[in-house]
Structure 1
Amino acid sequence: MDGPGLAAIAVGSVFTYAGIKGLSIPQAVQSIVQGKSPADLPQTAAIGTPTSAAGDAGTSTGGDGQIVQGGSAQATLQATAATFGWTGDQWQALQQIEMHEAGFNPKAKNPSSGALGLAQALGHGNGAATAGTLGNEYGGEGLTDEQAKAANSGDAGAQALWMCNYIKHRYGDPVKAWSFWQAHHWY
């Protein structure tokens, strides 16, 4: 079996386990990214009961998706993408965009344009309320001003949520965004 096949099985296993235990997907993924076993988490709801990670430690909501903290920037972006249901081909497309934009570096800054971080956001900040230590390029796209300030200071979780919301709202999904990127070399 090849790598993508094993990845699909792993992702399916996380979704199944989270469903059986009544955990949110972001909660189970975050636990795994942090090296914890999902089995150690308490069951938060009965099977079939809608769950929300809004009150979970380490996550917060902001528009669509979830901010996921912990692990590498790549693991954070992948876990955030999973909150949008973007796995398999969608994750592969998002990974391609990221490798061409910032290489999973939340402090990457384009010296000519000023584009910042994982998403290479540019010109979305809205004044002092969102300015961070690295610039003021993130704002809107479902982030609170405080989350935008964190993104503008290099927070991979806030940047990943902004990027996923931006792609969802502008293109619909990463496969369509990657197709656009291939034609234009930006997204």
Structure 2
Amino acid sequence: MSRISVRGFAVASATAVTTVGAVVGVAQGDEQGKTTTGGVQAAAADTTLLAELPAGQKAVQTASLTEQADTQVGVAQTIAKKEAEEAARKQAAEDASAKKEAAEAAAKKEAEEKAKEKAEKDREKKEKDEVASRSATRDSVDIPVKGSYSTAEVQAIARQIVPADQFQCFSNIVNNESSWDYTATNASSGAYGLVQALPGEKMSSAGADWRTNPATQIKWGLSYMNERYHSPCGAWSFWQANNWY
């Protein structure tokens, strides 16, 4: 091979390598591409040496350079496409994971709310059942009617009507309201009886003899405390905080 041929081949090879590096660098967008571009510019000045090659050899070298550049561009495009597809796959996976977590959190919250709602309904039902049970117990008590009753007798009647676990609370209220006097009357308000019903006529729902029968008053008072405060102890807690119930 002659000196001119060797030199021309070397220049062509250097130009091809530099050109390919530039193409890859631009496709990847890195600093290496910037550096290589400078090499292309520098090598471009030496491409005039191709003129020293015979026409046939120059055509072959030019075609080779073009083919290599096209090949590298294709490779760069393939790599860029794969990277874009991988990024899209990762993003889709992250979106699916986030959507799944959000759905699970919403389902958990809904389940908690339903459980809370059910617990509240169960509590209300239990309280109603307890009130109904107390009312049934209260109504089943048969107290002999008398012309008058002593405090001890009135308290004995109350013990038969009021559940044992609620009696002390009931007694506390009656002590403060009437001192167990079933005929006690508040001169200013007109409240009447053991539990100071206001007006006293309210107690007629428990019996027409509400004025003279402590059992009727006790039944009405227990019903009132159960319905409004869930129990005599609930009524007593309110009374302690407000001095009325």
Does residue 132 of structure 2 align to residue 73 of structure 1? Answer: no
Looking at CA atoms only, which structure, 1 or 2, has the larger radius of gyration?
A: 2
- 1:92 deviation in Å? 1.1
Higher RCO (CA 8 Å, separation ≥ 6 residues)? 1
Is contact 2:183–2:194 with CA below 8 Å preserved after alignment?
yes
Separation of aligned partners in 1, 2:215 and 2:155: 10
1:95 aligns with 2:171: yes
Identity %: 31
What SS is found at the alignment partner of 2:157?
A: helix
More helix by share: 2
Instruction: Tell me what 2:3 maps to.
Output: none
Could you say what secondary structure the match of 2:241 adopts? Answer: helix
**How far 1:94 sits from its partner (Å)?**
0.8
Q: Deviations over 1:47-85 (max 9, x none)?
A: xxxxxxxxxxxxxxxx6422542571111112110xxxx
Structure 2 stretches of 5 or more lacking a match?
1-134
Distance in 2, Cα, partners of 1:106 & 1:124:
11
How far the C-alpha of 1:91 sits from its partner, in A, is 1.2
- In structure 1, how many angstroms separate the alpha carbons of the residues matched to 2:225 and 2:182? 17
User: Are 1:167 and 2:225 an aligned pair?
Assistant: yes
How many residues of Structure 1 are paired with residues of Structure 2 in the alignment? 102
Q: Which residue in 1 is equivalent to 2:26?
A: none
Q: What TM-score results when the alignment is normalised by the length of structure 2?
A: 0.39
Report 1:109-148 matches (<5 A).
109-123=185-199, 125=201, 137-140=202-205, 143=206, 147=207
Deviation at 1:154, TM superposition (A): 2.0
Where 1:139 maps in the other structure, the secondary structure is helix
Q: CA RMSD in A?
A: 1.8
C-alpha displacement of 1:124: 5.9
